[in-house]
């Protein structure tokens, strides 16, 4: 499985002939190296959205109107359908969507969620994704919470965790999540995009190393294989 970082919390996952786009904040993302028109040309199986804030919902609707399924909460799915994304899939916490490429299960996240126009976006979520023979936990925007231990019980290959502070947890608290999640690898996200996001991914990597977890820091545009 190949993971390409697009800045903030946007990732492109590829495995064989399948591809997923997570939290597709592309246009307006000051560090994203890919123009929207190029991204719209990707062959995607689905766009997964953790919550409705503009830096996560991003360009989901553009992909949805182009025929790519949007998978998220019922509120996000309904909003997407109302605005022209007829293939959107609305779910809720604990539900699992299954497809030929794998599956995604929605988990809780401690945050908030509303669209840029103020519309309520439902509960923010994390995502447990089965893809490319790996089990991934994409935390969305959250703080540390004890039920991460239950997510970790399933066995995780990779955990994507926000480290930027201010709107999410910072690097030290994100590292504490590793004690509960126990992944093989970790990828920091949601940092450095805007001045207020001051969390240092190198601090996270050092703390992860103390816990025996390899943290891979990706610059926007960089990719790595798991």
At 210 the pLDDT is: 98
State the residue range of the domain holding 91.
1-102
Residues 112 and 167: their CA atoms lie apart, in Å, by 10
At 194 the pLDDT is: 97
Structural domain contains residue 122: no
pLDDT confidence bin for 84, thresholds 50/70/90:
very high
User: What average pLDDT score do residues 121-144 get?
Assistant: 98
Question: What's the pLDDT tens digit per position in 151-201?
Answer: 999 999 999 999 999 999 999 999 999 999 999 999 999 999 999 999 999
pLDDT confidence bin for 74, thresholds 50/70/90:
very high
206: part of which helix (H) or strand (E)? helix 201-210
Structural domain contains residue 202: no
At 69 the pLDDT is: 98
Number of domains within the chain: 1
Structural domain contains residue 26: yes
* Whole-number average pLDDT of the chain: 98
User: What average pLDDT score do residues 27-33 get?
Assistant: 98
At 223 the pLDDT is: 98
Structural domain contains residue 121: no
Cα torsion through 108, 180, 200, 224, rounded to 10: -90
Structural domain contains residue 119: no
Report the share of the chain in percent with pLDDT over 70: 100
pLDDT confidence bin for 22, thresholds 50/70/90:
very high
Question: What's the pLDDT tens digit per position in 42-53?
Answer: 999 999 999 999
Structural domain contains residue 209: no
Structural domain contains residue 63: yes
At 132 the pLDDT is: 97
Residue 18: strand, helix, or coil: strand
User: What average pLDDT score do residues 17-37 get?
Assistant: 98
Q: Who's near 11: CB < 8 A, 6+ residues apart?
A: 3, 4, 5, 21, 22, 23, 138, 160, 187, 189
Residue 54: strand, helix, or coil: helix
Question: What's the pLDDT tens digit per position in 94-132?
Answer: 999 999 999 999 999 999 999 999 999 999 999 999 999
**CB of 80 within 8 A of CB of 98?**
no
Q: Strands across the sheet with 125-131, in order?
A: 96-99, 102-108, 125-131, 134-138, 158-162, 185-189, 214-215
The three-state DSSP-derived secondary structure of 117-161 is CCCECCCCEEEEEEECCEEEEECCCCCCCCCHHHHHCCCCCEEEE
The CATH number of the domain holding residue 82 is: 3.60.15.10
Structural domain contains residue 45: yes
At 219 the pLDDT is: 98
The sign of the CA dihedral 189, 93, 15, 61 is negative
């Amino acid at each position: 499985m190949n993971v390409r970082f697009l800045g903030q919390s946007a990732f492109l996952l590829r495995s064989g002939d399948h591809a997923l786009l997570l939290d597709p904040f592309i246009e307006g993302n000051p560090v994203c190296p890919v123009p929207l028109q190029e991204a719209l040309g990707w062959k995607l199986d689905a766009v997964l959205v953790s919550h409705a804030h503009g830096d996560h919902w991003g360009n989901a609707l553009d992909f949805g109107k182009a025929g790519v399924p949007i998978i998220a909460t019922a509120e996000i799915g309904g909003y997407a359908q109302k605005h022209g994304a007829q293939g959107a899939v609305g779910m809720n916490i604990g539900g699992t969507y299954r497809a030929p490429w794998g599956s995604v299960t929605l988990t809780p996240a401690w945050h908030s969620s509303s669209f840029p126009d103020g519309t309520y976006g439902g509960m923010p979520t994390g995502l447990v994704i089965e893809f490319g023979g790996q089990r991934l936990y994409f935390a969305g925007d959250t703080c540390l919470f004890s039920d991460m231990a239950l997510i970790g019980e399933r066995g995780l290959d990779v955990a994507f965790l926000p480290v930027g502070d201010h709107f999410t947890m910072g690097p030290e608290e994100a590292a504490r999540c590793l004690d509960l999640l126990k992944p093989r690898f970790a990828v920091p996200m949601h940092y450095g995009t805007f001045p207020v996001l001051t969390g240092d991914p190198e601090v996270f990597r050092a703390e992860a190393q103390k816990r025996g977890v390899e943290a891979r820091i990706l610059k926007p545009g960089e990719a790595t294989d798991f």
